[in-house]
Amino acid sequence: MKKLKVEKVKLNNGVRIPSIGIGTWQIPNSENLVLSLQSAIELGYRYIDTAAIYENEPSVAEAIRRCGVKRSEFFISSKCWAANRTYDSVMRAFEESLRNLKLDYLDCYLIHWPYTKGEPLAWQSVNIGTWRAFEKLYEEGLVKTIGISNFQMHHLVSFLARANVAPAINQLEFHPGYTQRSAVSFCKKNGITVEAWSPLGHGALLDEPLIKEIASHYERSVAQVILRWCRHHHVVPVTRALTAEHQIENLESFDFDLSDDDITRLDNMPLMGFSGLEPDHVSF
């Protein structure tokens, strides 16, 4: 397979990461996942996103082992699940992820969801308490980049005021029809790189007439238009693509530009493709 070039994005800690990642959410730990990741690696993907709750870290490890690519070329990210919010439980969860991934260090570790239960002072203290363990892992060099996921602006205000190390990444649900403008704008103003999970709106956007019209104009696919729109907003998309065909399609999303008018049309789409996972109301 021909390896395609992927540009890099510089984080607030100086680390440079690929401008597109390959995601593994809702993909079981299996030989199929290993083969899919092998294909992605051969094509040029170096950013692999997983999480403890996905229960597929061993498949990521096996794909890395088989590919023969230097460890230093990869950006491997995992996430600490909501059940692990104390200092000690974060440390145990991190060690388990390292064992599952068969790695000596992680390139990125994220708090998967903010704690939001109870009075503000209570959940604010829990979130920053969790972060203290992340800061320790970062200081010890066990993880190169630390960040958060699904944090909204009201979570971030108190969090940043008390953090010793600012998060480098906030991974959010972000796509046309669900742009989370306040959170994205706040992150940008504070030097936090935004990543997009489910940038295609869980597949709901693939048949959206407006995006199909725009895609036809540029002679591109709907997915390519959406991913290019993400990068226009300086958001790093984390895509789930199991086949080589879709992996190539996604990698070829960045060699064209959308007009300002088309960007605005995509920005202003009505609510669509939203997962329903609102951080202040999830049950975990």
Binding residues for substrate: 112
Catalytic residue among 54, 115, 138, 178: 54
Q: How far is CA 150 from each of CA 160, 169, 194, 233, 270, rounded to the nearest angstrom?
A: 15, 10, 10, 18, 21
Binned at pLDDT 50, 70 and 90, residue 284 comes out as: confident
Cα separation values, 132 from 23, 50, 88, 97, 150, Å: 27, 22, 10, 18, 18
Instruction: Find the helix or strand (DSSP H, E) in which 99 lies.
Output: helix 87-101
CA–CA gap between residue 216 and residue 80 (Å, rounded): 41
Residue 126 φ/ψ, nearest 5 degrees? -65, -45
CA distance 132 to 149: 16
What is the pLDDT confidence band of residue 117, given thresholds at 50, 70 and 90? Answer: confident
Domains of the chain: 18-201+235-241 (3.20.20.100)
115 is catalytic: no
Radius of gyration of the chain, Cα coordinates, nearest whole angstrom: 18
Residue 118 clears pLDDT 90, i.e. is over it: no
> Annotated binding site, which residues?
112
pLDDT, tens digit (0-9, with 9 covering 90-100), for 27-83: 999 999 999 999 999 999 999 999 999 999 999 999 999 999 999 999 999 999 999
| pLDDT beyond 70 at 1 | no
Helices (H) and strands (E) in the chain, counts: 10, 10
120 pLDDT band (50/70/90 cuts)? confident
Residue range 95-118: average pLDDT?
A: 97
